Structures are given as C-alpha cells and as structure tokens.
Structure 1
Amino acid sequence: MYLPNLTWPDLREYVENGSLAVVPLGSTEQHGPHLPEGTDHLIADALARAATDRTDHICTPVIPIGVSPHHRQFHGTMWVDAPVFRDYVESLSRNLTYHGIDRIVFVNAHGGNVAHLREVGRRLRDDGTAYAVEWMWDESIPDLIEEAFETPGPHGGPKETAMIMHIAEELVRDDRLEDARDGGMTAFDPATMAVNGARVTYDSKEITENGVFGDQTDATPAVGAELFEAATDQLCALLEWLDDQPFADLLPQEHVAPRPARTGN
C-alpha cells in the first residue's frame, strides 16, 4: 500500500486496524562506472514496495539522499550532514506517529545510514513514541550472497549490480562491467583501511580508484531476481513479526531494582 496513492479516508481505515509503516531509505552516490547513482534508493524502494504490496502495510515515499560524504570525490554524489539526516528522519517518523503509527521499519540500502537510523530508533523508543528498526537487505540473506558470488564486495559489487539488473536493467552499463572490476578493488580486505588497530581511511577514494569493490562480471538478472525474492521474503517475515508484537513489549524495560531514591532539594 503506497501512501501517496491513497486518500485520507483510506489511511483512516488503515490505522483503525494497523499501526505499522515502512520507510525506504538509500542514497544518491557513486556506484562505479557501471551503476546509476540512485542504486541504493532504487533497491530500497523496490523492496519496500514489493513487501508492503504483499503484506498490505503502508509504504512511504523513499528518502533518496543519505549520509554519503565518504564518496564525495566522485562526480554527482549527494549527501546531507549526519545530524541533519537524523533530525529529518526522526521528524518524518514522528509525523507518522501523529497519524496513529507506532512501529516503523526503515528499509535501508546504504551502509552510511545504519548508525544514524539506529540512533533515531533509540530516540523514538526511549520516549515511548514508537518502535523503529533498521533493516538492510543484504544482511538478511548473507548465505545466499556468499553462494552466488566469489567476491561480493561491499559497494558497487555484483550483489548490487545483480539487483539493479533485476529492478532496472536499462540503467546498468553492461559494457563497463570489466572496467568496474579491473579499476576497483576486486577482493575487499578491511585490513587495508587500518594501521595498528586504528581505521585510518575516511573516503572510498583512498582504497579504490573507481569507487567499487568485487567482481561485477559475476552479476546476472537471474541472480538479481533470486536475491530480490529472498530479501523480500525476509522483509515480509519481519513486518509480520513486528505487527504481531504487543507494543508494550517493544518498549524499554524497567530499571533493575532496587533503584536508588533521589535526595536533595
């Protein structure tokens, strides 16, 4: 159920029986020479729409720009500062709660958003307004991804390439797949970002010349369809689980007893 396509009486009917909303989020940033800059938000939006169509939950419009300054050296990358992003997502979420929503799933497809969405979720939960949880598609199907690709790569690799081949194949530059592989870091090694236990890199340009990781030539539309269906199944299961939980059980637990009494004026 896509919120912009509904009328307000439709939404009134929805909140009479349901209180869950899905908010897709991603980024608009470089994904190498072969993928569109909208890769992340295209994936998030497609998964959120597919899952809510199946479960009859509400899906909001996608938030297409996230926290992406680590890709800023590449043309076209857009980002907002982290505090701005957090405040925007929290404000939007509180807007939903005003209309009767008390649980939210952030369908996220950009790693740079994760920590900030978790913080927004804690703010909403701590004051008892709503329970909001962040969900990443690739983290829901890690075994399938490992089986499908020898070198999946965390950014712009074959898993994202296959997903876009399935969602919007016309946006993939097939003639650049080998260039993407050969000009990037095929086998991602986190150790390249650290010195003596300290992470010393801040931007993707410092470790990959063309901004991507993995072997993009392993991607196919068929594998993308398999990944998409498996991730959608996982998201649907999450939505149904969350919808079944008593709201009180989702709120923070009480302080352990005994709790010291406050004294003084």
Structure 2
Amino acid sequence: MYLGDEAWPDLESYFETESLALVPVGSTEQHGPHLPESTDHLIAEAFAREAADRAGYLCTPPVTVGVSTHHRQFHGTMWADAPAFRDYVESITRNLTEHGVDRVVYVNAHGSNVDPLREVGRRLRDDHALYAIEWMWNESIPDLVDDLFEHPGPHGGPKETALVQHLAPDLVHDDRLADARDGGVVDVTTNDTIVNGARTYYDAIDNTPNGVIGDQTDATAAKGEQLFEAATEQLVDLCDWLAAQEFQALMPEPHR
C-alpha cells in the first residue's frame, strides 16, 4: 500500500492492524554521464513499494534529497546538510507515531545517508518513540553483487546501472556506458587518495573526474532484475521479522 495514493478513511484499517511503515530515502545527485540524478530515490522507492505490496505493509512517499554535498561540483546535484537532513527525517518519522506506527524501515539507496539515518534511529529509540532501522539494498546481497560484477563501483557503477536499466530503462544512456567507464575510475583503490592511513579526499570529484566508479559496461537489465528480486526478498524478510517483534524488546535496555 502506498500512502500517497490513499484517501485518509481508507488507511484506517491498516493502522488498526499494522504498525510498520517503509520510508524510502535516496538523493538527487549526479550519477555520471549515463544515469539520471534521480537514481538513488528511484531505486529506494522501487524497493520500498515492491516490498510493501508483497508483504502487505505501508510505504510512505520518498525522501528525494539526501546528504550529497560531496557531489556539488556536478550540475544539478541537490543536497541537505547532515543536521538539516537528520532533523527533517526525524520529524516526518515522528509524525507517523500519531497514526500508530511504532517501527520504521528506512529503505535507503544512498551511502552518505547511512550515518544520519542511524543517528535518527538512535534518537527515536532513546525517546521510546519508535524503532527505526536503516536498510541498504546492496548490503543485503553482497555475495550476489560480487558474483555479477568484477568492478561494481561504490557510485554510479554497474550495480546501480543495472538496477535502473531494469526499473527505468528509458532513463539510462546506454550509448554512454563506455564513456562513463573510460572517463571515470574503474577501481577506486588505484587512486592515491589515502596517504599514510589518512583519507585525503572530501568530494567525489577528488576521486573521479566524471563522478562515477566501476565498469558500467558490465551492466544489463537482466542483472538488474536479479539484484532487484534478491534484495526485495531480503527486505520483505526484514519487515516480517520486525513486525513480529514485541515493541518493548526493541527498546533500549535499562541502566544497570
């Protein structure tokens, strides 16, 4: 069930019987010359909607702008500074408690959102308001990602490219895949951006001139479908596990 499509009286029965919501979280930022700036929130919403439909849970509208300051040198990137992002996500999550939601899965598709989302989850749990956890699709199926791609790339690589080829093929510039690979960095570990144990980079452009890492030519829609099916199964299982927990068991242990 997608919250944004429902009239309010038709949501009553859900809140009478369920207390879990999926909140998709992504970004609006450059993903190289071949992928749309909507890549992360497109992927996050697709996973959240599919899992919600399969398992009978509620999916909220997506958070479409994330912590993306490090992509600001590339045209069109939008971002929220981490404190503003945390406060916004915390606010929209807290308001779900007004309707009886006491557990949330942040269906996340942007790496730099992870730490802020974890902080939001801690705040909400410490207040005994609700239990919120962050889920990142590729972290749920690492073996499959490694099996499918030699150089998956942490950003704009073949794993994200394959997913968008599967979910929204009209948004992928397939004729630019070789340019994306050749104008970027195939393997970020070959860069000289760690010196004596210190990371010397701050922005994506410090690591890759066109904003992406990995071998994009290794992506196909068929691989994207494999990724989507496998990760969706993981997300459904996570939601079922979380829904089955006693609320008090999810709250912090008392001081000893």
Interval of TM-score (by shorter of Structure 1 and Structure 2): over 0.9
Secondary structure of 1:192's aligned partner: coil
Give the C-alpha shift of residue 133 in structure 1: 0.1
Name the Cα RMSD after superposition: 1.0
Equivalent residue number for residue 176 of structure 1 = 176
Instruction: Check 1:243–1:190 CA distance in 2 against 1; reply closer, same or farther (3 A cut).
Output: farther
Q: Deviations over 1:121-175 (max 9, x none)?
A: 0000001000000000000000000000010000000000000000000100011
- Equivalent runs, 1:18-37 vs 2, <5 Å: 18-37=18-37
The higher radius of gyration belongs to: 1
Report if aligned partners of 2:191, 2:207 keep a CA contact under 8 Å in 1: no
Secondary structure of 1:115's aligned partner: helix
Equivalent residue number for residue 233 of structure 2 = 233
Equivalent residue number for residue 150 of structure 2 = 150
Structure 2 gap ranges (5+): none
Cα separation, 1, equivalents of 2:7 and 2:130: 24
Secondary structure of 2:107's aligned partner: strand
Give the C-alpha shift of residue 198 in structure 1: 1.6
Give the C-alpha shift of residue 193 in structure 1: 2.9
Give the C-alpha shift of residue 248 in structure 1: 0.5
Give the C-alpha shift of residue 188 in structure 1: 2.1
Cα separation, 1, equivalents of 2:190 and 2:103: 35
Letter of the structure 2 residue corresponding to residue 2 of structure 1 = Y
Letter of the structure 2 residue corresponding to residue 235 of structure 1 = L
Secondary structure of 2:188's aligned partner: coil
Secondary structure of 1:189's aligned partner: helix
Equivalent residue number for residue 15 of structure 1 = 15
Equivalent residue number for residue 192 of structure 1 = 192
Give the C-alpha shift of residue 9 in structure 1: 2.2
Equivalent residue number for residue 77 of structure 2 = 77
Equivalent residue number for residue 38 of structure 2 = 38
**Matched residue count:** 256
Equivalent residue number for residue 105 of structure 1 = 105
Cα separation, 2, equivalents of 1:224 and 1:182: 22
Letter of the structure 2 residue corresponding to residue 29 of structure 1 = E
Give the C-alpha shift of residue 119 in structure 1: 0.2
Cα separation, 1, equivalents of 2:192 and 2:133: 31
Q: Deviations over 1:102-128 (max 9, x none)?
A: 000000000010000000000000010
Q: Deviations over 1:200-219 (max 9, x none)?
A: 11001011000000000000
TM-score by length of 1: 0.95
Are 1:134 and 2:134 an aligned pair? yes
Cα separation, 2, equivalents of 1:61 and 1:227: 23
Give the C-alpha shift of residue 98 in structure 1: 1.2
Secondary structure of 1:152's aligned partner: coil
Q: Deviations over 1:39-87 (max 9, x none)?
A: 0000000010000000110100011100000000000000011111000
Secondary structure of 1:76's aligned partner: coil
Q: Percent of aligned positions with the same letter in both sequences?
A: 65
Report if aligned partners of 2:188, 2:207 keep a CA contact under 8 Å in 1: no
Give the C-alpha shift of residue 6 in structure 1: 1.5
Instruction: Detail structure 1 runs of 4+ shifted over 6 Å in the superposition.
Output: none
